[in-house]
Homo-oligomer: A and B are copies of this chain.
Amino acid sequence: MIEYANLVRLQNPPTVAAWSSVVGKKEGEGPLGACFDAVEQDAYFGKETWEQAESELQHRTLALLTEKSRIQPAEISCIFAGDLVNQCTSSTYALRHLDIPYLGIFGACATFAEGILLASVMQSGMSLPRCAVLTSSHYSSAERQFRFPLSYGGQRTPNAQWTCTAAGAVMLSPTDQPPYIRGVCAGRIRDQGITDASNMGAAMAPAAADTIARYLSATRSRPADYDAIVTGDLGLVGSRLLMQLMEQNGYDLRGVHRDCGVMMFDGKTQDTHAGGSGCGCSASIICGYFLPKLQSGEMRNVLYAATGALLSPMICQQGESIPGICHLVHFSHESGKENDA
């Protein structure tokens, strides 16, 4: 392990041995619809409340993961899980009967990368054989908790993002086959004084710029060394801001930057304003779109910089600004072990 100013380059890069993704109807109708393992037409997922629906979404995503990895839930060494619902109950209730050692995490929409970071450290550093990560978001549970109940029929601002109904899960193992996790970098909180809870992209972009620049600088790499530098869900507004901030740092992200919030929906026909958001947005796209390309070798190196707006409705009502955070994971088709030798 080499420490580069608070980031971790993994000496024994864990393999992403399996992944799964489940999304809702609207996400299934988007440009990436065919990438996901399953698309559910019923927003309630057969349950009675939005919170139960989101737990069921996680439950199905994990069931697919265990099926694809041929690992029983009881064989999982530990699982990192989290979501946007208060007290992370979507995760808790999805996992409560499964006997898996459970470590709850909260990083807002950066939760999936935070989980992969911690699972990588657990796997690589402690040799735990099967570490899983699971996150989700649901449009309806998030809307009523963070903004308005759906039945209120509130107008959405042009900068607003659409919380995706989606979940993603990965299983890390020491198996020596791609895709590998080469490095991880924990984010620092950035707060530039944004107080508009409808403009999360702007609140998160400085955190993304900070983490990506720190990783590039510490690893002495350039944006062109990667097939894609993927932000979680900055949306259209935050993505433009990220390009500007990175340019100020001397990095040109043109041609290499992708944003999951922008990728999830067709902005012209799906009325999603600045794009998608939510823990499940980048989780499902990493699992549905990027990991298969990293496995096949169509992509060799991808930086996944998941962004989170650490806001609480109550704190926003008290006039506080919105802190942003961004955790980074470096996925690669190569283990990089030759380079270290």
Contacts and interface: CB of A to CB of B under 8 A. Distances in A.
Interface of A: 1, 3, 6-8, 48-49, 51-52, 77-78, 82, 85-89, 92-93, 95-108, 114, 117-118, 121-122, 124-129, 185-189, 191, 310-315, 318, 320, 323, 325, 327
Looking at chain A's contact residues, is the secondary structure mostly helix, strand, loop, or mixed? mixed
A129 to B, nearest CB: 8
Nearest to A211: B101
6 contacts: A102-B186, A103-B105, A103-B114, A104-B325, A105-B106, A124-B126
A314 B49 CA distance: 10
Nearest to A92: B310
Given A51-B318, A93-B323, 6 more contacts: A6-B78, A6-B101, A8-B126, A92-B323, A97-B189, A106-B106
Identical chains in the assembly: 2
What 10 pairs between A and B have smallest CB-CB spacing? A125-B125, A101-B186, A87-B312, A104-B106, A96-B189, A89-B312, A92-B310, A96-B323, A86-B86, A106-B106
Contacts of A117: 103
A318 B86 CA distance: 14
A106 B126 contact: no
B102 A105 contact: no
Residue in A7, A85, A86 with the greatest tally of chain B CB atoms within 10 Å: A86
A130 to B, nearest CB: 10
A121 B114 contact: no
Contact of A1 (B51, B102, B127): B127
A104 B107 contact: yes
